[in-house]
Structure 1
Amino acid sequence: MTTSPAPSDPPVKAWHIWLWPTLLVVLAFAMWLLPWGQWVPLLRDWVEGHGTLGTVVFLAVYVIVVILPLPAAAMSVVGGLAFGWWGYPLSMAGSLLGAIAPYYISRRWMRGPVMRRLDGPKVRAADRAIADNGFVFVMLLRLTPILPFTAQNWFLGLTAIRPWPYFVATALGLAPGTLAMVWIGEMGGLASVSSDRTQILIAGGGLLAFGVFVIWLGRIATREMERAGLTAPRRRR
């Protein structure tokens, strides 16, 4: 089995894995500080009043945000605010649809010139190693916020990873983080429609438990990236 050589200056640091949980805590705390009580009812009334059009508009905006260098995670929070738990499948659909164009454009028109410019034994070996382990590589990249989601899509198009591993691994890798962002939005929706305290506490407790799950996934991803030589091994005492 072909393996890529461990780089001397690893592009991934172990602390990167904690970015997701930290972002989760910051956004959850922000939900209690912003005046959602006035905004969310208006947003949900607009969505309900426009039916299918509201869903199409949300998906279209989500796709544009993913293609452009804009924070896609914020759209997942908006999905939770506007659609409740239905925001989860809609946000996943928006992420996957938005990941199509950058990948194919990069693969079709950019990969050839870039590979010719960077051609060399190390680059070819790394490209083969990534292609041989494409599914795992994409999923770990989606789980660890090393690069912004949009940058990941353009970068992965430059590799030899095939379309099906790219899309399936993207869906699996995005699922936990997207759920967390929609969950935060749903909590903001609960707080804005005067839900009882018990319901909000249950939602907050569930989010906390899910945050622990995200950290656990991150630790697994860290170990796997260490084995692949993409992150510096943690020193043992």
Structure 2
Amino acid sequence: MRHARTLKASAWLWPALLVLLAAGIWMLPWEGWVVPLRQWVESHGAMGWVVFVLAYAGVVVLPLPAAAMSVAGGLAFGWWGVPLSLLGSLVGCVLPWWATRRWLRGPMLRRFDGPRVAAADRAVRRNGFLFVALLRVTPILPFTLQNYLLGLTGVRIGPYLAATLVGLAPGTLAMVWVGEMGGLAAAGADRAKLVVAAGGLTLLGLLILVMIRRARVELRRAGFDGA
């Protein structure tokens, strides 16, 4: 019961985090470093994009907060931070999935061989896209840990990447939105424009909350009782 209450409470993490970050827009000294950051990006052209994507991929492979990189993407690239952050996520999630698939999946299946394990593995393989997409939407497990664990399943690389893209898109958009608001503040946007941006960000956070709750229902139906 306590575990279920904890999971339900964690569903509010996204909206609460977005509200706190939006409030911080008015308190942080954006002007001193956002403008130089964007000038550096513009002066380096495509190289700045490549550096960001590779850095993002490195953060995803390691147990580091990828959401902070999405905020940095919004600060540095504006709305271009959305596709760049998603690309970094896709590049970074391949190596952990491949490593566990290559070296750990076989030994783990032999170690825990049995009809129930085999049936669960077949079910995940058949519904790989849906399973991965729902898992990406929910904050049940950290993103980096998900990448390693999904390598132990029968999910193929195509559905794995496609579902990751779909599942991460809402949260990535929200984090880049926060960064873009920082860019607006640094550019001297008037308060009304920032209020509108913060309102839109709050609505997006509420939409993500609805998606998380729906995803958990679907995961329970699929037999994932931990959701």
Q: Provide TM-score, normalisation by structure 2.
A: 0.91
1:118 CA displacement:
2.3
Query: Deviations for 1:1-43, whole angstroms, at most 9, x for unmatched residues?
Result: xxxxxxxx88x93333322223322332333332222111111
Q: In the aligned structure 1, how far is the partner of 2:88 from the partner of 2:22?
A: 22
TM-score, L = length of structure 1: 0.88
Aligned residues: 224
Q: How does 1:54-203 map to 2 (within 5 A)?
A: 54-203=48-197
**Whole-Å separation in 2 of the counterparts to 1:148 and 1:70:** 10
- Equivalent of residue 15 in structure 1, options 9, 22, 31: 9
Q: Could you list the runs of 5+ residues in structure 2 that have no partner in the other structure?
A: none
Q: Alignment RMSD, CA only?
A: 1.9
Q: Which of 200, 209, 214 does residue 215 from structure 1 map onto?
A: 209
Deviation of 1:99 after TM superposition, in Å, equals: 1.1
Once residues 17 and 126 of structure 1 are traced to their aligned partners in structure 2, the CA distance between those partners, rounded to angstroms, is: 26
Contact 1:77 1:181 in 2 (8 A): yes
Which stretch has the larger CA shift, 18-27 or 86-95?
18-27
Instruction: Say whether 1:224 aligns with 2:218.
Output: yes
**Alignment identity in percent?**
58
Q: Distance in 2 between matches of 1:25 and 1:31?
A: 10
- What is the rounded CA distance, in whole Å, between the counterparts of 2:203 and 2:95 in structure 1? 35
Paired with 2:144 and 2:124, the residues of 1 have a C-alpha distance of 19
Structure 1: runs of 5+ lacking an equivalent = 1-8
Point out the more displaced range, 221-230 or 202-211: 221-230
SS at match of 2:71: helix
Provide closer, same or farther for how the CA distance between residues 101 and 18 of structure 1 changes in structure 2, counting only shifts above 3 A.
same
Q: Larger relative CO (CA 8 A, sep 6+): 1 or 2? A: 1
Q: By how many angstroms is 1:158 displaced?
A: 0.6
